[in-house]
Chains A and B, each alone.
Chain A
């Protein structure tokens, strides 16, 4: 199949305006008769459901959690980018667009990324209108901070819980539509297949997680907003339930999976403390505004952090990247931490950690606060006290969280941090309209691949989720549904529904019938180890080939030896996990396959065979300037399709943060 991205004609800056001016519309009376299924209620799903319902469509929204408000967007901490230029520091739509392209190492699609930057300002307006309490300055206007990979302050935030506030805003808009009868909410439901009739997505099979009953739902279109697949690494900053299942079922029904090897490893997470560990906790990138990252200059130094004098500390990011310092993009910061730890300079009991130190920020803020309070002869104690207050104001909840988990006080000793799986740039292939290659099947937010290239900028995930849901899909879905106004709801006893349900049922029966020796977690942990060691921050040909073989073997063992207690017809969390891990075991192979064919380093994808002299990622534009879009064949075999990337506006350069 030829991949057609359907990029509108015209200059880059005019494309979205042109599109909106010419896309087909559906009249209000017809909208009432059109049904849309939305999977997931995070930022993308909740904002899409609410916005589509407001337009008049009949929406059915699904989430596996007990309430739509729990979706994992809630855990995003640091902030959301927007090119408002409220700080008068040189920001613009173009600059946000360019920063995103560059950070993505020129593996994103220009038109999509430009549109993202273009609507970013509207998102902030919309959120404020919904009552989102963003941080403000004393003058009453909105505050901003900086994030990695950029040199302007364009990040809007609500302490260290921006995702929570944005999601609760979208959730409130969603619940308003539930109250108005425009959205029907299905909580504790999991989508287990897409139903395709005559080449078009026409519904889903969902499992009611409380009763175990399979349900059939019709929709004129199906919108997936089901998040990323970071949990393929087992340990990640994702929620326990975050999964690839909805995307993977769509993939198995024909939707191409794009750039699966572009997975983001976040540099600042709380390190692993033992084998019992079930997840890793992020410490927001915003902390790199004020925290300085260092390791001892001496190998294997066992002194406590506070006993190591200033001149014996290596602030390696400031040393290697003087222009961006601690605010280099995530992929660069993660690799630099790994490099230091691998070389024997790591700290903490495991030696797999680096310090993130706030001592100098506390002094800086303390002095500024003392000055503002007209205390000109402030003693050290006062300065420290005022400085700590300022830090609390900015990052209080993060410091508290750190202390709860590690039992160390980060106001007194530096945080210990290490990279962890966090976000996935790859996902379902979509065109400019966010439609997959399956007609009427859309993918929004993290579950699509479209806007971030090979590495996402901090504070851009929230932006993309809300851009897709509030401002893109309401236009683009109309362009498709305008052609569907004569399609009557298809009864769910249609043979395509029969067959889809039968397949889902057979898979559930098969899982329950194994009655093997090991728990689901046993296999998930084993998969995580393979992926982390061989498809993590650093990859090479041999490791990837091994990973493919090992994942295949593990998958085979899973289907012989997994033990799922209980029955199908009840709340059974182990069965839910088993289905998700079974899908990760298929995706894991594709991820490694994609990483193997991309014999270049770009963004978060670092191939040891392709590096510059000073150890930085080396792109190969001649051979790999494309999106890899994978089609699934029988028996977990995959065929590669390439969407060439053409750049009209940006010039491809080697990324340089020095």
Chain B
């Protein structure tokens, strides 16, 4: 199939940026969206033009690095799918596809479709962990955990930190990302001792980074390639509220 692509080009963080239009021919159904970009870039290089910069690494939907805003949706039209796992069979011949980077102030554009998501690392630094040094652990089976609890924690822990939730949110809130970690660790017995400080510190850091507040719109849940549910946000809010009344645990 033949496609028309409108792609956001931005030289660096200082550049204003603009859309450019490209024609791509011979796109096969079995190609992934990123492989289609490989074909386009190969063409641009051969023509002596600057290829389009985009983040990608594992190309199997788990590293969270790919991050394209396709036709107005993070990761494109397919539910529960990262850009690298989106295949061209979901588009049709002659279609015009618009591709932009994540649009969010806390994710400044570095170049073209590449943004800086360092804010997520800093939120994790604020408390997205259990404070246990190597060698401190007791035998793994000394802490039985109900299967349902373990499954729930696992569902939250599948977040790949791609930032689609932020890109989808009209408020630019990072609450789905933050709540998934708060919820995972608050559920597990190992995470309970620090649950209050974790909720307060992570949400505080989210504010510091300039992410907006959550007003329960739910776009994040729709956009999440790992189908993380907004019930985690409710859980995180409850954790936050309890922590605010009770005071931090340390």
Contacts and interface: CB of A to CB of B under 8 A. Distances in A.
Contact of A239 (B45, B59, B111, B128): B59
Contacts of A239: 57-59, 63
Contacts of B120: 67
A474 B135 CA distance: 11
A76 B223 CA distance: 24
Given A176-B125, A519-B42, A565-B51, A133 B154 contact: yes
Contact of A131 (B30, B46, B51, B130): B130
**Which of A122, A134, A404 has most B Cβ within 10 Å?**
A404
A405 B85 contact: yes
A405 B131 CA distance: 39
B173 interface: no
Interface stretch (A197-205, A377-385, A570-578): A570-578
Contact of A276 (B38, B45, B56): B38
Given A67-B121, A141-B144, A274-B28, A129 B58 contact: no
A130 to B, nearest CB: 6
Contacts of A404: 61, 78, 81, 85, 87
A30 interface: no
A175 B129 contact: yes
Interface residues of A, number: 80
B55 interface: yes
B170 interface: no
Contacts of B140: 84, 124-125, 127-128, 134, 142
Contact of B45 (A187, A407, A519): A519
Contacts of A17: none
B184 A133 contact: yes
A25 to B, nearest CB: 14
Nearest to A136: B150
**Which of B44, B59, B190 has most A Cβ within 10 Å?**
B59
A210 interface: yes
B126 to A, nearest CB: 7
**Which of A54, A171, A407, A571 has most B Cβ within 10 Å?**
A571
A14 to B, nearest CB: 20
B157 A165 contact: yes
A65 B117 CA distance: 11
Contacts of A159: 154
A470 interface: yes
Contacts of B132: 126, 129-130, 173
A101 to B, nearest CB: 25
Interface string B108-131: 001100101110110011101111
A102 to B, nearest CB: 27
A187 B118 contact: yes
A172 B138 contact: no
B157 A168 contact: yes
A122 B132 CA distance: 14
B114 A126 contact: no
A50 B132 CA distance: 11
Given A50-B134, A68-B121, A129-B136, A565 B50 contact: yes
Which bracket fits the contact residues of B? 35 or more
B137 A129 contact: yes
A618 B59 CA distance: 37
B137 A128 contact: yes
B146 to A, nearest CB: 6
A82 B169 CA distance: 42
Contact of A173 (B65, B129, B146): B129
A240 interface: yes
B114 A571 contact: yes
A136 B147 contact: yes
A135 interface: yes
Given A125-B140, A278-B38, A571-B114, A164 B145 contact: no
A282 B60 CA distance: 9
Nearest to B34: A278
Contacts of B129: 130-131, 172-173, 175-176
Given A125-B140, A128-B190, A570-B111, A75 B12 contact: no
A652 interface: no
B185 A131 contact: yes
Interface string B62-101: 1111000000000000101100010101000000000000
Interface string A57-71: 000000001111110
Contacts of B171: none
Contacts of B3: none
Contact of B117 (A67, A140, A171): A67
Interface in A523-563: 563
Interface string A191-211: 000000000000000000010
Contact of A125 (B116, B139, B184): B139
A393 to B, nearest CB: 9
Given A70-B64, A70-B65, A278 B138 contact: no
B49 interface: yes
A570 B14 CA distance: 13
B58 A54 contact: no
Contact of B63 (A70, A131, A401): A70
A223 B118 CA distance: 24
Nearest to B112: A571
Given A75-B60, A239-B59, A158 B116 contact: no
A401 B61 contact: yes
Given A86-B141, A136-B150, A158-B154, A274 B30 contact: yes
B161 A69 contact: yes
B218 interface: no
A165 B87 contact: no
A175 B154 contact: no
B49 A136 contact: no
B137 A122 contact: yes
B130 A161 contact: no
B125 A66 contact: no
A639 interface: no
Interface in A90-149: 122, 124-142
A616 to B, nearest CB: 32
B210 interface: no
A476 B161 CA distance: 34
Interface string A459-471: 0000000000011
Nearest to B190: A131
A405 to B, nearest CB: 7
Contacts of B209: none
B114 to A, nearest CB: 6
B5 interface: no
A72 B188 contact: no
Contacts of A68: 121
A175 B144 CA distance: 27
B158 interface: yes
B143 interface: yes
A465 B172 CA distance: 37
Nearest to A241: B57
Contact of B38 (A70, A141, A175, A521): A521
A308 interface: no
**Which of B28, B53, B57 has most A Cβ within 10 Å?**
B57
A141 B141 contact: yes
Contacts of B141: 84, 86, 141-142
5 contacts: A74-B63, A133-B150, A172-B128, A241-B57, A571-B12
Interface of B: 11-12, 28-32, 34-35, 38-39, 42, 44-46, 48-51, 53, 55-65, 78, 80-81, 85, 87, 89, 110-111, 114, 116-118, 120-121, 124-126, 128-141, 143-147, 150-151, 153-154, 157-158, 160-161, 184-185, 188, 190-191
Given A135-B154, A470-B134, 14 more contacts: A70-B64, A74-B58, A126-B137, A131-B188, A133-B151, A134-B140, A176-B125, A240-B59, A279-B60, A401-B60, A404-B85, A563-B45, A565-B44, A570-B111
The 5 nearest A-B residue pairs measured at CB: A140-B144, A172-B129, A129-B137, A125-B137, A133-B154
